[in-house]
Structure 1
């Protein structure tokens, strides 16, 4: 695994609606491995193409955006109140954050000291009303640098714990990493299909990037890359998937069964480990891509991670490497059922 690239991807900040911040890193990593790169301006997504020998189009998609908070008010004594629709406030006390104002400002999320908690308050839920960001700056200093609505992100904390890597925003920079690595391994491989790489925006809220950019490409088929829940303490195999056992292949009504079976058959043929994830809707961009235009046959590959939407998301590099290997082999054997080239 290219840990340097992954560190760059995850330590960068690209919240929903402001994904362009990370595009230079992606473009630099793709340089020399694809034939075209362009920005889909209407959706704020990045698109790349590696040409094949035929007139068929396979799109690989991963969303770029990460979860975030926003400043909701500037309080007396320089404390900030924040809110979010995608982060559980119970995990926030003690977290280090970055406030993205006129400049980046470090902060910590604080709570009332336990020693001062009054009787009857012990079991109150930690919600955003009880939390605050402490930047160490005064109220006047903050008002010069920060405005209501400014983004607040988890501070990067890239580290290795045992066999696993830990940091913020592995959801879904792992998918972004897989797309980049797939483009790299395809450089010297002949393939018939034209491969489109879509780094899409706004998955965490609307799926806008996946919908509008896919409409432009109109591929024969698509494979969406995302993350799923890994097993951990109190998360059983009924709700999650083991780290180190390969990616998951999703089976449900929102994905194409024939394409999904083909993905699994390639994995079986070459002995690539994978796990089966079963559901109705996947709650990923795969649900959106399949509905575009007259319908796009779509499959979903996911990498199990622990502690999703926290600053300490955790995964096993083995699962990522096997995902790249599976995509490379799948692309080499891809046989579309209709003759249609992709387009921007």
Structure 2
């Protein structure tokens, strides 16, 4: 029996989520993805920052479409190694303080096991017990006696620290909880698109880009977009779900697991980043979603700090018409990001449909009849 796209995405996520690749240290992902996609594309390169740029050319001439998913994940880095062997740390990306204490982590290129330590509850004052320690209060315990023992394992300043999290299927196996769902699920989707699309399936040129450093400022998208401008772009990312008990879903964030891809119309991390879907790309996304019966969960997220690579792509060079399509996930930037594989399948099918109709829609911001 042929393997379904759902099972391929499950398999990809299981592998990709267990590779460690914080922003700026995505080498594990780059090596794996490069080997996976190289036999299926017309050209491939790794730019100076680590972005993987792949190109597939369709049967006939047509517009160029960029698909982008980021490889990096949030985490920590070694700030200093104390004489007694403990590590002090800095954050990379949006790591919530309340998710740090007591976590198992992997340190450095050799994935040395460690624990984010905390003062025993027996010794905490009432004030200490009632507050969330900040990153400056945290340390990594490697169970090593001194600095030399740490350095002898090859650990040095700047090494990444990524929390450990097994790939866990829930009682309904369509639900998966693991680290780095953001954005390894969409890296897996891009891999399958590259493998499955044939030259005869579409017109024009497809640029599938696996970007770096999204979690720390969207820097990979900035350089890739300048170097490889296309006629339009779709950014594939994840989006917070608002369907847990402490959230007023309809009022705050009408995004639910299992009800289709998220489609942010506007988002931002003010005052640095702001994104608004390009109206032409919005029209084609909505038209194709309706055609293949995929539900889109539209939303705006402007009061928090959510953004994607689209915020950079839209303003690179002379501008790239851009939209973002998202897999919803609960518990953002945690070791237990929870998603529904059916949303990923819907996103995959929608992107396939858009690629197959490449060139059928106007990409003008506005049509004016003179």
1:157 aligns with 2:179: no
1:242 aligns with 2:256: yes
CA distance in 1: counterparts of 2:77 and 2:306, whole angstroms: 27
Q: Which residue of the partner structure matches residue 93 of structure 1?
A: 101
SS of the residue aligned with 2:214? coil
Q: Which residue of the partner structure matches residue 228 of structure 2?
A: 217
1:126 aligns with 2:133: yes
**Runs of 4+ that moved beyond 3 A:** 279-282
Q: Deviations over 1:219-251 (max 9, x none)?
A: 110000111101223133223510000111121
Q: Which residue of the partner structure matches residue 3 of structure 2?
A: none
Q: Which residue of the partner structure matches residue 50 of structure 1?
A: 56
Q: Which residue of the partner structure matches residue 334 of structure 1?
A: 358
Aligned residues: 337
Displacement of 1:33: 2.6
CA distance in 2: counterparts of 1:247 and 1:67, whole angstroms: 22
Determine if contact 2:62/2:358 at 8 Å carries over to the other structure: no
Structure 1: 5+ residue runs without aligned partners? Answer: 339-344
CA distance in 1: counterparts of 2:311 and 2:100, whole angstroms: 30
Determine if contact 1:229/1:305 at 8 Å carries over to the other structure: yes
Matches within 5 A, 1:181-330: 181-187=192-198, 189-230=200-241, 231-237=243-249, 238-239=252-253, 241-252=255-266, 254-279=276-301, 283-330=307-354
Displacement of 1:290: 0.7
SS of the residue aligned with 1:331? helix
Q: Which residue of the partner structure matches residue 171 of structure 1?
A: 182
SS of the residue aligned with 1:16? coil
Change (3 A) 1:282 1:265: farther
Q: Which residue of the partner structure matches residue 341 of structure 1?
A: none
Q: Which residue of the partner structure matches residue 151 of structure 2?
A: 143
Determine if contact 1:248/1:304 at 8 Å carries over to the other structure: yes
CA distance in 1: counterparts of 2:287 and 2:258, whole angstroms: 20
TM-score, with length taken from structure 1: 0.91
Structure 2: 5+ residue runs without aligned partners? Answer: 1-5, 267-274, 364-370
2:19 to 12, 22, 29: 12
Q: Deviations over 1:74-133 (max 9, x none)?
A: 2354222222152112111221100105x3210111211112212432212221233221
CA distance in 1: counterparts of 2:254 and 2:87, whole angstroms: 35
CA distance in 2: counterparts of 1:201 and 1:239, whole angstroms: 27
CA distance in 2: counterparts of 1:241 and 1:5, whole angstroms: 24
Q: Which residue of the partner structure matches residue 69 of structure 2?
A: 62
Change (3 A) 1:25 1:236: farther
Displacement of 1:302: 0.9
TM-score, with length taken from structure 2: 0.85
CA distance in 2: counterparts of 1:331 and 1:293, whole angstroms: 23
RMSD of the alignment, in Å?
2.1
CA distance in 2: counterparts of 1:108 and 1:279, whole angstroms: 34
Displacement of 1:188: 6.8
